[in-house]
């Protein structure tokens, strides 16, 4: 079942590279008493994710902050090393986007947003989405309808809903 507005985010563990090793990050710890944005995408270093989706949130991070958003989190079904390398290459964290690995597809599956494309090696990957969470409750959610597009889930599109 897909996540909906009014639902509580699931209890999941994501990872972030710290001191050269993956460190567990409890998503509930990041959302408790806070207003945050979470966006998910199919894969680090992939075309649309690198040229459109991630940059859109890097461009709009200050505008989200002005609307009371305390953190913007990007998740992808990749390991912590890949997410860290992507962060280093793009400068995402310097622009206000926290990069977290959904290494076991735990969040992606719990949100009901997993998909597979075996010919290109995508298994349990994350459909493109963007959501706003306040104190663990989803208040806005946007999903892409057409595959390989990034229109409804950009930083600008989500910002326009607030």
Active site positions, annotated:
49
Cα–Cα nearest to 126, from 139, 144, 152: 144
Q: How far apart are the first and last CA of the chain?
A: 25
Cβ count near 54 (within 10 Å): 25
Radius of gyration of the chain (CA): 14
Instruction: Tell me which residue has tokens 């409890």.
Output: 26
Question: Which of helix, strand or coil describes residue 81?
Answer: helix
Largest CA distance in the chain: 42
10 phi-psi bin (left φ>0, alpha ψ -120 to 50, beta other): beta
């Amino acid at each position: 079942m897909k996540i909906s507005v009014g639902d509580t985010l699931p209890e999941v563990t994501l990872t972030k590279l710290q001191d050269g090793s993956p460190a567990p990050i409890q998503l509930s710890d990041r959302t408790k008493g806070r207003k945050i944005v979470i966006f998910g995408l199919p894969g680090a270093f992939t075309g649309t994710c690198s040229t459109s989706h991630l940059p859109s949130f890097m461009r709009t991070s200050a505008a989200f902050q002005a609307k009371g958003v305390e953190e913007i989190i990007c998740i992808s079904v990749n390991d912590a090393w890949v997410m860290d390398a992507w962060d280093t290459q793009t400068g995402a964290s310097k622009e206000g986007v926290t990069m977290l690995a959904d290494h076991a597809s735990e969040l992606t599956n719990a949100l009901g947003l997993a998909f597979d494309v075996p010919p290109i090696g995508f298994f349990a990957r994350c459909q493109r989405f963007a959501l706003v969470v306040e104190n663990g409750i989803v208040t806005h959610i946007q999903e892409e309808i057409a595959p390989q597009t990034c229109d409804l889930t950009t930083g600008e599109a989500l910002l326009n809903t607030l």
